[in-house]
């Protein structure tokens, strides 16, 4: 198994090119199933989750080609098999986002239940409730959700859950509704930039969607959608991670292609913490040389502070003076990185869904274990500033969502190596 070895203490300087958004790419690749012809998607990140989605779409009968490293063409002409098998769904929970497109495209779906994962129990009740409100019949059998959408009609759907809106439930209902006769209103919809990108992709295909960027979507079903050419938005979570890399090493990075308008909450918190951030044409510049201050952060659905940057921000707080508090309100158990950071001499204690972080002068390099994608990024950030050597094991997690992280960090001055 590959490992990443980092020698801490180097300031990062230079330019990092931000990749296309993984979490926009996954539902948009699935949405390509709804077209009458092939769709071309550009700015696709080269990460393992994209390969998994490509395997799922191929197993359903679609043709998936990568004519260039960052471009995928999906031709749904051969789509016939409604089954997404356990082997693929268990690899990537986001596989659930083929449910809506399968119902919209062929009127049936058989998807293995994703089960739990390292960041919590992750139910899919809102996906099922929403599709049910559209008139799809759903049953659970031998670990599969079996859905029939032949009688789907436009309807009012409410997607507000215990923890706020759901990103992939919104994606699924939207994708199921665009070819369903009648008008569907989705209340409590997620409005993350990835959902907006999906809506723009569907609109280009010919879908009629109103209320994009709000919590209320209005969809008027159409009979046919065409294949289109679409360029994905930049990855805001990758951007946030490199912003923190600049901040924590007291370096300066220009994040080429990044969009500041997708990261307002993160930029505000970094500025509050003493980091200099400037949005420029074509990217974001970040400088971490200034004096640091403590912050309090609570994660929320967009436009709040994203749960996907919670772990990385926590690493930053471990070396900021004073006591910071981070409360996780989206995935309340997403703290697998805490014991690993504490092994590196961080001082973090957990009180329910809050982490209390007492800043230390320095972290101490150690062998640590990645548990999920963003936790792995947090450990790499810790390694960048820790005294001595840090080895991060199980880095297949990071390869799921960060394109060439060691290459990008190395080019701006980090002492980082992948050991195969």
- The site for ligand EPZ (CB under 6 A) is made up of 23, 26, 94, 122-127, 161-163, 166-169, 194, 307-308, 330-331, 373-374, 401
29 vs 386 by CB, closer to ligand EPZ: 29
The CB-of-418 to ligand EPZ minimum distance in angstroms stands at 21
Find, among 29, 19, 77, 78, the residue nearest to 53 by Cα: 29
254 vs 331 by CB, closer to ligand EPZ: 331
The CB-of-330 to ligand EPZ minimum distance in angstroms stands at 5
The CB-of-7 to ligand EPZ minimum distance in angstroms stands at 27
Q: What is residue 138's three-state secondary structure?
A: strand
DSSP 8-state secondary structure symbol assigned to residue 117: B
Q: What is residue 340's three-state secondary structure?
A: helix
Find, among 26, 38, 29, the residue nearest to 76 by Cα: 38
The CB-of-24 to ligand EPZ minimum distance in angstroms stands at 8
161 vs 211 by CB, closer to ligand EPZ: 161
Classify residue 161 as left (phi > 0), alpha (psi -120 to 50) or beta.
beta
The CB-of-301 to ligand EPZ minimum distance in angstroms stands at 7
166 vs 354 by CB, closer to ligand EPZ: 166
Which one of the listed residues 117, 183, 345, 415 is annotated catalytic? 117
Strand partners, 393: 369
| Residue that has been written with the tokens 């996780």 in this structure | 328
**CB distance 64 to 88 below 8 Å:** no
The DSSP H or E segment spanning 148 is strand 144-148
Q: Could you confirm whether 117 is annotated as catalytic? A: yes
Collect all residues with Cβ–Cβ distance below 8 Å to 134 and sequence separation of at least 6.
149, 152, 153, 154, 155, 157, 173, 176, 177, 180, 184
Classify residue 122 as left (phi > 0), alpha (psi -120 to 50) or beta.
left
**CB distance 23 to 211 below 8 Å:** no
Collect all residues with Cβ–Cβ distance below 8 Å to 401 and sequence separation of at least 6.
22, 45, 47, 48, 49, 237, 238, 373
52 vs 307 by CB, closer to ligand EPZ: 307
The CB-of-137 to ligand EPZ minimum distance in angstroms stands at 18
Complete DSSP assignment for 167-203 = HHHHHHHHHHHTTSSSEEEEES----HHHHHHHHHHH
366 vs 378 by CB, closer to ligand EPZ: 378
Q: Which two three-digit tokens encode residue 209? A: 């969607």
Compute the distance between CA of residue 374 and CA of residue 377 in angstroms, rounded to an integer. 5
382 vs 386 by CB, closer to ligand EPZ: 382
The DSSP H or E segment spanning 341 is helix 337-343
The CB-of-83 to ligand EPZ minimum distance in angstroms stands at 20
Which sequence positions are flagged as catalytic? 117
């Amino acid at each position: 198994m590959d490992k990443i070895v980092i020698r801490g203490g180097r300031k990062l300087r230079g330019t990092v090119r931000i990749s296309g958004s993984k979490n926009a790419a996954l539902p948009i690749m699935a949405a390509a199933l709804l077209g009458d012809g092939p769709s071309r998607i550009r700015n696709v990140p080269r990460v393992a989750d994209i390969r998994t989605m490509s395997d799922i779409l191929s197993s359903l009968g679609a043709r998936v080609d990568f004519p260039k490293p960052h471009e995928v063409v999906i031709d749904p002409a051969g789509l016939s098999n409604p089954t997404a098998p356990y082997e693929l769904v268990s690899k990537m929970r986001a596989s659930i986002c083929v449910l809506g497109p399968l119902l919209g495209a062929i009127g049936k779906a058989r998807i293995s239940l994703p089960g739990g994962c390292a960041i919590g129990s992750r139910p899919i009740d809102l996906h099922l409730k929403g599709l049910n409100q559209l008139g799809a019949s759903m049953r659970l059998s031998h670990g599969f959700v079996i859905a029939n959408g032949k009688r789907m009609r436009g309807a009012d759907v409410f997607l507000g859950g215990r923890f706020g809106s759901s990103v992939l439930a919104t994606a699924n209902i939207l994708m199921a509704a665009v070819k369903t006769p009648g008008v569907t209103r989705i209340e409590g919809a997620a409005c993350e930039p990835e959902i907006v990108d999906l809506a723009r992709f569907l609109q280009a295909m010919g879908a009629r969607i109103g209320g994009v960027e709000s919590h209320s979507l209005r969809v008027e079903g159409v009979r046919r959608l065409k294949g289109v050419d679409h360029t994905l938005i930049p990855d805001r979570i990758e951007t946030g991670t490199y912003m923190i890399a600049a901040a924590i090493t007291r370096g300066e990075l220009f994040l080429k292609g990044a969009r500041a308008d997708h990261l307002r909450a993160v930029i505000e918190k970094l500025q509050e913490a003493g980091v200099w951030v400037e949005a420029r044409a074509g990217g974001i510049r970040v400088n971490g040389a200034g004096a640091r201050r403590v912050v309090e952060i609570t994660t929320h659905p967009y436009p709040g502070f994203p749960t996907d940057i919670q772990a990385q921000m926590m690493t930053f707080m471990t070396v900021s003076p004073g006591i910071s508090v981070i409360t996780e309100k989206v995935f309340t158990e997403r703290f697998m990185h805490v014991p690993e950071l504490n092994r590196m001499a961080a001082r973090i204690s957990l009180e329910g869904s809050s982490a209390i972080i007492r800043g230390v002068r320095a972290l101490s390099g150690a062998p640590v274990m990645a548990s999920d994608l963003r936790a792995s990024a947090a450990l790499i950030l810790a390694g960048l500033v820790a005294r001595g050597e840090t080895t991060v094991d199980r880095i297949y997690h990071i390869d799921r969502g960060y394109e060439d992280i060691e290459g990008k960090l190395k080019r701006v001055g980090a002492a980082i190596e992948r050991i195969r």
